[in-house]
Every structure is written in C-alpha cells, then in structure tokens.
Amino acid sequence: MAATATSSSPAPAAAGGHSPASVPFVLYALRGRVYASNVKQKLIDLGRLGPEADSTWSYLLDGDKATGSGFDGPEAALQHIARTTTFLFLDGQFTALEDLGGVDRPDLVEAPQCEVALDPLGRGERMLDPGV
C-alpha cells in the first residue's frame, strides 16, 4: 500500500503529486474523535483521539482496534494513522459506517487534518509531508 500524507484538502487522484492509482482521503481530529472523508465528501467517525494525563495524544480506532500513543499533538497522531492504515480498512469503513453529513456534520474547517492517498493495489512507496 502506498500512502502520501499531507495537510491539504482532498484532490483528484492524479493531482497533487498522488499516483494515478491512489485514492485520497482526509483525516480530521475534532472533539476527541478521528473523522475521515473521501472524494465523495462522505464523512465517517473512525474512533477516539485525545490527550492523555501526561499531555501526549493517543488514538483508538473502532473498526480494527488499532491504537497509537505518545504523540505530541493531534496532527502527529493523524500522521501516524495515515502511515499505518490500509486502503482496504479505510475503504471498508466507508462502506460500513453511516455518513455524518447533513445537519449534524461537524464543522471541520479549523480542525487539524491530514490527507492520505492510498493505493488499492499496494503499489509504490509511502511518503509523508509533515506540513500542517
């Protein structure tokens, strides 16, 4: 799986330096949760993300129980999720979970975010742009 993580908005798969075969998603951190959106602007809730007692950040994804901890902030946690998630997992979550769009859609304009482009065929190398 190839992943490219940046802090920009979603772009067509062939734009923004993504390989033509990659599929872009955007991860967000807001109000103690990790959200993800796809190119169709569907928004889903992936799990918990928040500060710990020692001021580091951690996450727990609901779908596969993936965890991470010891991050300096939400951006670092999102980048870790972007580096470690797979296309099959994330795409499956978009199939399984309901769209949070509509009236109750969280306002994500100011939320920390990280774009990830995943290759469904697993070709290519991972790249990470830590810009936030």
Q: How far is CA 14 from CA 40, 76, 88, 117, in A?
A: 16, 26, 20, 10
Can you give the pLDDT at residue 122? 66
Q: How does pLDDT run across 88-118, given as a tens digit for each residue?
A: 999 999 999 999 987 778 889 999 999 999 9
Can you give the pLDDT at residue 19? 54
**Res. 80: pLDDT tops 60:** yes
Can you give the pLDDT at residue 123? 52
Please state, in angstroms and rounded to a whole number, the distance separating the CA atoms of residues 129 and 67. Answer: 22
Provide CB contacts within 8 A for 53, sequence distance 6+.
none
Domain span at 45: 3-128
Can you give the pLDDT at residue 11? 35
Q: How does pLDDT run across 5-64, given as a tens digit for each residue?
A: 443 333 333 444 555 578 999 999 999 999 999 999 999 999 999 999 999 999 999 999
Q: How many domains does the chain have?
A: 1
The closest of 127, 118, 124, 112 to 59, measured between CA atoms, is 112
